[in-house]
Structure 1
Amino acid sequence: MKNKKIPVVLATLFVLAVLAVGFWRTSSPSVEDHEVQEFLMDTVVNIRVSGEDAEEAVEASLRRMRELADKIDINRDDNQLNEINRQAGQKAVEVDEEVLFIIQNAKEYGELSQGGFDVTIAPVLNLWGFGSGTPGVPSEEEITERLELVNYEDIIIDEEASTVMLAREGMRLDLGGASKGYIIEQGIETLKEYGIESALIGAGDIRALGTRPDGEEWTVAIRNPRPESDKFADNEFGGQYVTAVRGADFSMATSGDYERYFEEDGEMYHHILDAKTGYPVRGLASVTVITDTTLMEVDLLSTALFIMGFEEAKEYIESKEHLEGMIITEELEIWQSQGFEKLKAE
């Protein structure tokens, strides 16, 4: 039968900040409300801020996030990331402190997932064509050959010299799955510098600063990975979302198989690849992790846990007091940590 290919679906976990947190306006005429939506880091970024000089703060926050995103954009030829890729197997490249920090953290999560999550996956990811407009399933031989270029342990980091080198020619780093949380966190830090105490940045992942301007907790909804099914059709969200959580000063990240995918011969292939096999991870539909610490941690962690699978992900979340989570299997069975239940909005 002839292969049937459909365009890659960019269905980012968009937690509908406008819908989920509702519209708000402050009562004080001296306090501004400002909201901006922009395409950044290959996704839609929503920023909602309340406070004096809110507009100026948002502009500064966006500048900061753009600056960081440009540094690690694999599609730009003029940044440090692609200099590392160009010099693979040849020499080390000096990088700035932030790029070094992102790469170090990515390598740590490679170790956590025992190599399942690996930012050197780019040579294999390119075979699948995600983002190219013409995705397709590569041959087993092609995948096997490219897997020889994938190994996070071959990222050579010299902290003292602030250099990074890929051990073998043909290796490539892709930090797209390892940097968004850090970039958003820096956007929040910029808002704080302007005295902002109430803000929410949604970019698939969510970072909430303080409470809403009215003092109420933020409420965010978590997307149903299979809205076309009848599994959650009778809930209060009409099946579009599985549940909603409430909180203040928190970070939430979700990794799911519905974020970017294509279908071929009736089978769905998503972009979260197991770096040990070169194929999309099977077993889970989504993993959501919530913490009261930085977004960088849960952004990386949600992907690593998705790759690790149900049992290991469950055990890891349960072992960390500062983490709560929800796991949805491909069969749409749900597991929620004990603390997650307490976060659910009523």
Structure 2
Amino acid sequence: MFKKLAISFVAILLTLSVSGYAFYTLSDQFGADLSDQQMQAYTQAKSWNGEVFLNQIETIQEQSFSDIVDMLDAFLFNPVNTEPKTPVQVLKVDRETLLANTTETQILWFGHSTFLMQTNGMNLLFDPMLTGTPAPHPMLGGKRYSDELPISIADLPMVDAVFISHDHYDHLDLASIQQLDSIVGHYFVPLGVGLHLQEWGIATSRITELDWWQRAKLGDTEFTFTPSRHFSGRRLEGRNRTLWGGWVAQDDQQTIYYTGDGGYGPHFKEVGERFGEIDLALVECGQYNQRWANIHLLPEQTIQAGMEANAKVIMPVHWGSFTLALHAWDDPVERAIAEAKKQNQEIIAPQIGEIVRVNQPPAVNWWWREY
């Protein structure tokens, strides 16, 4: 009996190992990797050391064995309210409403870090993660808190451009890109990320890669790719072989800053110095841990970062859709609002699907407390 069980266990383990290896080596999910020739193309990038991209300041990411044990203990035996008790209800937006706006600058938040910016008659989509699980396979990640999106991909108007901050699965989603591609005009991405898109069948002519502080013009709006303090990679190996960062969109009327992911660093103050007042800053706030403070902001740092960037209004993002850390799901927004009040800093926390007009920021309505 024991021998049969042992044989069955080994057979199952072998099957899983072979299946996992096949998926890892054959799936398009993992994108492309840099060749030696492609690495040579990045020798002019200040953050490239010949093998990988580096942050502006030293960023240690290794965790000790005791750190890992503590995290497992928290995950298995001391879970907090890491997910809402019921599915989050989103506000619905129809295609006609979006098409009707040709003059105002407004933001439509899809949850986490995905948002549609309408400005100067353009539709601009940032970090589109519009499917159910931010992972290479549904079994490897948690589900989205809401059962639906504010507007389906099929109902979206034409998207003039997609902007990507970095290549992690919760920001660059293969299925979303595939479903969106027929309505997307152009892709603006960090150095190296264009190779993933090419691997997925997108023509090089539709992709623009940028280094930190490089700019691109689209219509009347200038976009600048800004530094962040983070890391990159879609594979078990080859980390930091694509760049990461945030985006500033600026015209002669307003400036909007999206930080992307990353820990606290000197780049926030530099953004403020370069661009003057930021009308709206969408700042990372969520999926943090004290042990990850080098690569993810804590909520109080969200407010500090926004203030150093000279933001008139701060909007916390990177929360509200997925559980990627062990804090309570609403801890980011509660702590960020408390800190903003303490610092006399204006903050907004729109409901998923709520349209935010940049010149008329909405009052906080505490919608998450219903869950």
Question: In proportion to residue count, which structure has more strand?
Answer: 1
Query: Scaled by the length of structure 1, what TM-score is found?
Result: 0.24
State the structure with bigger RCO (CA 8 A, min sep 6), 1 or 2.
1
